[in-house]
């Protein structure tokens, strides 16, 4: 599995390239299907496409974790230049060739991409699980969580809490790869977030909502940038 996290301008956005360079089982190496998925191309679709081409990978899927403009900004560029299928959650306002539901899986060479519907920041949000790596978009960042409130139409802190509790059920070794570089490191694990992310340490929904409302003071008190 080839995996690349690519800085994609915008608001410290991250784009991702997930590729399978392996030959299919029993296949002839020269006939191997070498394909990739691009997730949240954001403002760097050209750079991500060049990276795919440098590895000899055809783009099979163009996936967005959710429909916020900074995450789908690069999709049209990629769809105009490749035969890729655009993939988003079925509730997305953007009509795609492939609309997925919770727990749907897509094959990518010998890999499987699993989609977890994780609303809260926005109703159409999905996380993408690929070979022990979880692309968490804007629901979970390193040491922080995605925004809710009047700036984010359709957001719902209760749904976000439920989505985060669900992610906490994953194997602690699952790697966390967020949609923005907002944390102390560009990636983490579910175990590390469970042990250190203040929002995931909240014991109740009420505590979670209180922390969201008082995050500025909390950050100041704990020296978090």
The residue ranges that bind Zn ion (CB under 5 A) are: 68, 138
Q: How far is CA 42 from CA 8, 67, 77, in A?
A: 6, 11, 10
Residue 146 Cβ vs Zn ion, minimum distance, rounded to whole Å: 6
Helix (H) or strand (E) holding 215: helix 215-222
The CA distance from 105 to 75, in Å, is: 21
Residue 92 Cβ vs Zn ion, minimum distance, rounded to whole Å: 12
For Zn ion, the closer of residues 51 and 70 by Cβ is 70
Residue 68 Cβ vs Zn ion, minimum distance, rounded to whole Å: 4
For Zn ion, the closer of residues 20 and 138 by Cβ is 138
Phi-psi region of 204 (alpha: psi -120 to 50; beta: other; left: phi over 0): beta
Residue 180 Cβ vs Zn ion, minimum distance, rounded to whole Å: 8
For Zn ion, the closer of residues 20 and 124 by Cβ is 124
With 0-12 / 13-18 / 19 or more C-beta atoms within 10 angstroms meaning exposed / middle / buried, residue 214 is exposed
Residue 18 Cβ vs Zn ion, minimum distance, rounded to whole Å: 20
Q: From the CB of residue 54, how many other CB atoms can be counted at a distance below 10 Å?
A: 8
Closest CA to 198 of 223, 178, 175: 223
The CA distance from 197 to 187, in Å, is: 13
For Zn ion, the closer of residues 68 and 117 by Cβ is 68
For Zn ion, the closer of residues 78 and 122 by Cβ is 122
Residue 133 Cβ vs Zn ion, minimum distance, rounded to whole Å: 20
E strands present in the chain: 2-7, 14-20, 35-39, 58-63, 85-89, 98-100, 105-108, 111-117, 126-130, 133-137, 140-141, 144-145, 175-178, 188-189
For Zn ion, the closer of residues 64 and 197 by Cβ is 64
């Amino acid at each position: 599995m080839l995996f690349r996290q690519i800085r994609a301008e915008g608001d410290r956005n991250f784009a991702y390239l997930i590729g399978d360079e392996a030959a299919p089982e029993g296949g002839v190496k020269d006939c191997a299907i070498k394909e990739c998925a691009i997730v949240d191309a954001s403002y760097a679709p050209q750079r991500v496409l060049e990276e795919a081409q440098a590895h000899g990978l055809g783009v099979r899927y163009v996936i967005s974790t959710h429909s916020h403009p900074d995450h789908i900004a690069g999709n049209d560029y990629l769809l105009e230049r490749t035969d890729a299928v655009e993939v988003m959650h079925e509730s997305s306002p953007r009509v795609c060739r492939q609309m997925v539901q919770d727990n749907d899986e897509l094959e990518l060479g010998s890999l499987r991409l699993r989609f977890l519907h994780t609303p809260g920041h926005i109703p159409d949000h999905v996380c993408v699980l690929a070979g022990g790596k979880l692309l968490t978009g804007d629901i979970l960042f390193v040491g922080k969580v995605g925004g809710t409130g009047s700036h984010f139409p359709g957001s719902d802190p209760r749904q976000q809490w439920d989505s985060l509790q669900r992610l906490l059920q994953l194997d602690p070794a699952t790697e966390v790869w967020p949609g923005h570089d907002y944390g102390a490191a560009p990636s983490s694990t579910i175990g590390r977030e469970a042990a250190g992310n203040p929002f995931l340490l909240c014991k109740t929904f009420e505590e979670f909502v209180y922390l969201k409302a008082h995050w500025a003071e909390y950050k100041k008190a704990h020296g978090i940038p």
